[in-house]
Chain A
Amino acid sequence: MSPSASDPDPPDRSGLPETPPSSTDPSSEEASPTTDAPPAHGSPSTLLGAVEEPQRLHPLTLLLRVGASLPALLLLLLPTLQNPSSENLFSVALTVFYGVVALPAIVLQYLRFSYRITPKQIVIQKGVIKRQNRSIPIERVQNVQIERNLVARILGVAKVTIETAGSSATEGSLEYVGLEAAQDIRQVVRSFQHQATDASGAPQSRADEEGSKEILFSMNLVHVLQSGAFRFSLLYIVLVFSGLELLDPEVIIQRVLRSQGRIDQITETMAAHPVLTAIGTVGVAGFFGWISGIVIHLARYYNFSLWLDGNKLRKRHGLFTVTEGTIPLEKVQALVLRTNPLMRLFGWYELKVQTVGMDVNEQGHRVIAPFAQYEDLLALGQRVRSFDLPDTFGRVSPITIRRRFFRYTAVLSAGLLPAVYFWPADWWQLGGAALPWWGFVLVPFILGWAILQYRNHEYAARNDGLYVRRGVTTHRLWVIPVEKFHAFHATATIFQRRLGLKTLHVDTAGAATFAYPEVIDLPAKEADAQLDRLYQRFQTLYQTRIEEATGAPDTRLDADQRLQLPVRDDK
Chain B
Amino acid sequence: MTDSQSEAARSEVVEADTIHSLDASVRNIWRIKGAGLTLLLLLPSLFYDLTHLFDPGSWLPFGVLSGTVLVLGLIYCLAWPRLRYRAWGFALRPEELYTEHGVLNHIRTVVPLRRIQHVDVSQDLIEREFALGRLVVHTAGSRSSDVVVPGLPLGEAERIRDEVKRFILEDPLTEDPV
Contact = CB atoms under 8 A, between A and B. Distances in A.
B104 A493 contact: yes
Contacts of A494: 104-105
Contact of A488 (B1, B109, B145, B176): B109
A474 B145 CA distance: 25
A507 to B, nearest CB: 4
Interface in A483-518: 485-494, 497, 505, 507-513, 516
B141 A509 contact: yes
B139 A565 contact: no
Interface string B27-63: 0000000000000000000000000000000000000
Nearest to A562: B94
B139 A486 contact: yes
Interface stretch (A221-229, A372-380, A457-465, A539-547): A539-547
Interface stretch (B18-26, B71-79, B121-129): B18-26
A490 B145 CA distance: 15
B140 A486 contact: yes
8 contacts: A330-B176, A489-B109, A493-B104, A507-B143, A513-B142, A516-B143, A546-B172, A569-B18
A314 B139 CA distance: 28
B131 interface: no
- The range of chain A's interface size is 35 or more
Given A492-B107, A494-B105, 14 more contacts: A331-B178, A333-B178, A354-B142, A485-B112, A486-B141, A505-B143, A507-B144, A546-B173, A557-B13, A557-B94, A563-B92, A565-B156, A567-B18, A567-B20
B178 A509 contact: yes
Contact of B142 (A512, A546, A571): A512
B10 interface: yes
Contacts of A567: 18, 20
Counting from the closest, the 9 A-B pairs by CB-CB distance are A507-B141, A509-B140, A488-B110, A509-B178, A557-B94, A510-B142, A563-B163, A490-B108, A494-B104
B165 to A, nearest CB: 11
Contacts of A562: 94, 163
Contacts of A165: 176
Nearest to B85: A571
A516 B144 CA distance: 12
B93 to A, nearest CB: 9
A508 B141 contact: yes
Nearest to B104: A494
Contacts of B13: 557, 559
A550 interface: yes
Contacts of A511: 142
A516 B163 contact: no
A32 to B, nearest CB: 31
From A357, A494, A512, A556, name the one whose CB has the most chain B CB atoms within 10 angstroms. Answer: A556
B111 interface: yes
A535 interface: yes
Interface in B100-137: 102, 104-112, 114-115
B4 to A, nearest CB: 11
A333 B86 CA distance: 36
B53 to A, nearest CB: 28
B142 A539 contact: no
Given A357-B178, A546-B172, A563-B163, A516 B142 contact: yes
Nearest to B112: A538
Interface residues of B, number: 47
A568 interface: yes
B109 A568 contact: no
Contacts of B10: 557
Contacts of B110: 487-489, 531, 535
B167 interface: yes
B172 A553 contact: no
Contacts of A424: none
Nearest to B91: A565
Interface of A: 165, 330-331, 333, 354, 356-357, 364, 485-494, 497, 505, 507-513, 516, 528, 531, 535, 538-540, 542, 545-546, 549-550, 553-554, 556-557, 559, 562-563, 565-571
B43 to A, nearest CB: 28
B178 A356 contact: yes
Contact of B173 (A330, A354, A545): A545
A380 B111 CA distance: 31
Contacts of A333: 178
A513 B141 CA distance: 12
B70 interface: no
Contacts of A492: 105-107
B106 to A, nearest CB: 5
B69 interface: no
A309 to B, nearest CB: 20
Contacts of A556: 94, 166-167, 170
B160 interface: yes
Nearest to B142: A510
A356 B21 contact: no
Contact of A487 (B94, B147, B166, B170): B147
Contacts of A331: 178
Contacts of B163: 562-563
B137 to A, nearest CB: 9
Given A535-B110, A553-B1, A489 B178 contact: no
Contact of B20 (A505, A528, A550, A568): A568
A565 B6 CA distance: 23
B115 A487 contact: yes
Contacts of A568: 20-21, 23
Contacts of B112: 485-487, 535, 538-539, 542
Contacts of A507: 139, 141-145
B139 to A, nearest CB: 6
Nearest to B153: A566
Contact of B106 (A491, A513, A549): A491
